[in-house]
Amino acid sequence: MVNSKNWVDDLLGGMTAMLVALPSSIAFGVLAYSTLGPAYASMGAMAGLLGAAAMGLVTPLIGRTAGLIAAPCAPAAAVLTAMMVELSAGHDGVPGLAPDAILPLVALAALIAALLQVAYGLLRGGSLIKFIPYPVVTGYLSGVGVIIALAQLPKVLGLPSGTHLWQGLLDPGHWRMESLVVGITTIVMMIIAPRITQRIPAAIMGLAGGLAAYFLLAQFNSAMLQLDGNGMVIGKMQASGSFMDSVSSRASSLMDIRLKDISHVFVYAMTLSVLLSIDTLKTCVGLDALTRNRHNSNRELIGQGIGNLVSFFSGGMPGAGTMGPTLVNISSGGYTYRSGILEGVFVVLAVLFLSPMIAWVPISTLAGILLVIAYRMFDKHMFALLRFKESRTDFAVIAAVILTAVSVDLIAAAGAGIALTIMLFIRDQISSTVIRNKLSLTQTSSKTRRQEDERAALDQFGEEAIYCELQGHLFFGTTDQLFTHLEQDLRQRRFILLDLRRVQSMDYTAAQLFKRMNTQLAENNGRLLFSGMPSALNEQRNFELYLRQLGIVNETNGVLIFDTLDSALEWMEEQILDAHGFTDRQDETVSLEDTKMFHEFGQESIDRLRACGREFSLKAGEKLFSRGDGGDELFIVLSGSVAFYLPLERGKRHHLDTAGPGSVMGEVVFLDQTVRAADAVAKTDCRLFGLSRARFDEALHDRPDIRASAYASLALIIGERLRQTGKQLQALEER
């Protein structure tokens, strides 16, 4: 049974999303079609509306991505504009085509792009498209934003047809004040709209402000109140016949397609299909982060392709999943695919009943809306990448794609982006898998010895934390794989520890994934941890410095970094123990009677043992013994803790173990009276009990029962330690 409240939320979400999609769809249509001349602006407006209606009704029904709104978009407008400009201008001595010859080719490009999108989905290309690196995508979209801005500035200024932008900017005499005032009013209203109200979309506020400014100025210029011949407004919009007539006309046009026509438009169609797919999946990824859902990339591409196919047959403009209307839909409660369908229904109603009003929308108002959209498309954060040596390569990629798009064309920018993608792909050498090992705290543990009740608690609650050993390259080609492997853990665990000792490189995409992972864990009162951070590898990249510069690593609420794997495991254990009522026991003091080795001994036996041993204290950092030292003494920690290290070359050392209150140390030397195998250093101020084998044998030569009990206790302690080690080795071997 469907929840009626969901329907109400979807209805509200679809309506508000339509209010955002409607003016932008009109604007994108006008942007593309007015390239053929002012007389085609109304045709572009209708194409934008029909595209929004077709995609809104069809795409959500097939793609099923919850909350996604599909409509004509900036990449589609930019590609179609570039295509029309080239076909109009001609090249290599071939004269340009007339508008009536260009429009069928534009429709053909949209058709091929739609079919390619369906093919991408059927061939499971959605996963491959997601591997296009973020710098290439943001560079391309920023380039599209710059192209749109350069195309709309003349319309805001009201420059005469044929006037070059730079010539017009330098000569205010070419400006038309009415267009400038209307355009600036629209821009200002869109910028300040969120401060005035969150209920009305900024695009609607901008549209209303532009219309108000236009009709206010019209009181002083009666020519502005005439619809016919008024170049400042869209003009009358009339669809060519009924919907079925349009479908029949488009279907019959397929019979006239020639191979030569396909060769003319195929590169544009290919570019259009890839851009629309990237724009859609980019929006879907952002939507997943908001809704905590997981979209089906391949199914969504099929839905987008079929939606664009229906748009072609209805005479509409192609489009993609758009971020602006989608965010408005989600914020208004439209969390299901039904809200997208309802958005399409409202667009159809707008086409049927609001066309006379849309005819009065000023061209400069639409240009102002597009300028704001173009500004928001441009990645302003790219310049921050210049501050850090490690991220300047990413900036260079973004800048190269933008410059190619603006100075050459979008086709060349697509080629540059693909070439840079291949170069980055080769540079980072995709590894087969980035997770080398994955264990929970029930399968592994730190080297800190725990008391029985603590060990039992960790066995019970150890699934709250996992340890993953990563390897290879963490970059745009492997982050999706890493997220997929850890997606379930991010929902169920409190702590995830990533050991990076075997990681060779890390890029901006991986860093952003870590930020997202830490945010999701924080919602479960958890944290993301790193250990084994390489300071410099073949890229001479300092991982910790890089992540700190991006603000991802910090002690307050960011990712935590530990020098060693063991210290990170110990920290997670302490957090779990503390959460389940086990307070810090570093200051705890135990007596010989309370230790595991002697807890079954009688008081007389304890007194005899105490008499033949010694109690003494060590300060933190003071060494108890060194590797290679002779001796026959075992030690029992009464308070504090002692750490064991294996000395390595160049003054380094490897942490072996940490013994806390009640722990026994040096039992092997006590038994075989050989040399020490490691260094023992007081981790904190501690008090110890030492028992020499020679003194033990001498003082208790008359009590073989006490001696036998002591040896039996030692055997049990050693056996338990071996079982724990075997359990960890088995877990490692099974991975």
1: enclosing H helix or E strand: none
Checking if the pLDDT of 129 tops 70, the result is no
- Per-residue pLDDT band at 716 (split at 50, 70, 90): confident
Share of the chain above pLDDT 90, in %: 24
Q: Which is more confident, 132 or 63?
A: 63
pLDDT of the residue at 537: 42
pLDDT of the residue at 1: 37
CA 156 – CA 165 distance, rounded (Å): 11
Closest among 139, 63, 726 to 443, alpha carbons compared? 726
pLDDT of the residue at 240: 47
Locate 694 and state its tokens: 């020679």
Helices (H), 123-201: 126-129, 134-157, 165-170, 177-196
CA 148 – CA 182 distance, rounded (Å): 18
Residue 296 near residue 225 (C-beta atoms within 8 A): no
Residue 436 near residue 471 (C-beta atoms within 8 A): yes
Share of the chain above pLDDT 70, in %: 90
Residue 343 near residue 328 (C-beta atoms within 8 A): no
Q: Which is more confident, 621 or 255?
A: 621
pLDDT of the residue at 408: 80
Q: Is the C-alpha dihedral spanning 239, 244, 250, 252 positive or negative?
A: negative
Residue 500 near residue 543 (C-beta atoms within 8 A): yes
The answer for residues whose C-beta is within 8 angstroms of residue 300's C-beta and 6 or more apart is 63, 64, 65, 68, 121, 126, 280, 281, 284, 321
Average pLDDT value over all residues in the chain:
84
| Long-range contacts formed by 581-584: CB under 8 A, 24+ apart | 582/453, 582/454, 582/457
Checking if the pLDDT of 398 tops 70, the result is yes
Residue owning tokens 């597009």: 370
pTM attached to this predicted model: 0.58
Most confident of 122-136, 194-208, 232-246, 506-520: 506-520
CA 640 – CA 638 distance, rounded (Å): 7
Checking if the pLDDT of 698 tops 80, the result is yes
Checking if the pLDDT of 540 tops 50, the result is no
Instruction: Give the pLDDT confidence of 469-502 residue by residue, as tens digits.
Output: 998 878 776 788 888 889 999 989 999 999 988 8
Most confident of 95-104, 328-337, 360-369, 550-559: 360-369
Considering only 216-230, 290-304, 532-546, which range has the smallest mean pLDDT? 532-546
The answer for residues whose C-beta is within 8 angstroms of residue 118's C-beta and 6 or more apart is 301, 302, 305, 306, 309
- Per-residue pLDDT band at 449 (split at 50, 70, 90): confident
CA 98 – CA 37 distance, rounded (Å): 11
Locate 334 and state its tokens: 């439209």
Q: What are phi and psi of 603, to 5 degrees?
A: -65, -35
Closest among 257, 275, 323 to 81, alpha carbons compared? 275
**One-letter amino acid of 122:** L
Q: Which is more confident, 698 or 533?
A: 698
pLDDT of the residue at 648: 79
Instruction: Give the pLDDT confidence of 635-662 residue by residue, as tens digits.
Output: 999 988 898 888 877 677 777 888 888 8
CA 243 – CA 169 distance, rounded (Å): 43
- Read out DSSP for 408-429? T-HHHHHHHHHHHHHHHHHHH-
The tally of CA atoms less than 13 A away on the side-chain side of residue 37 is 7
- Per-residue pLDDT band at 521 (split at 50, 70, 90): very high
- Per-residue pLDDT band at 71 (split at 50, 70, 90): very high
Locate 562 and state its tokens: 């530990």
Q: Is the C-alpha dihedral spanning 154, 160, 162, 165 positive or negative?
A: negative
CA 14 – CA 10 distance, rounded (Å): 6
pLDDT of the residue at 51: 93
- Per-residue pLDDT band at 507 (split at 50, 70, 90): confident
What is the arithmetic mean of pLDDT over 680-708?
Answer: 90
- Read out DSSP for 273-320? HHHHHHHHHHHHHHHHHHH-----HHHHHHHHHHHHHHHHHHT---EE
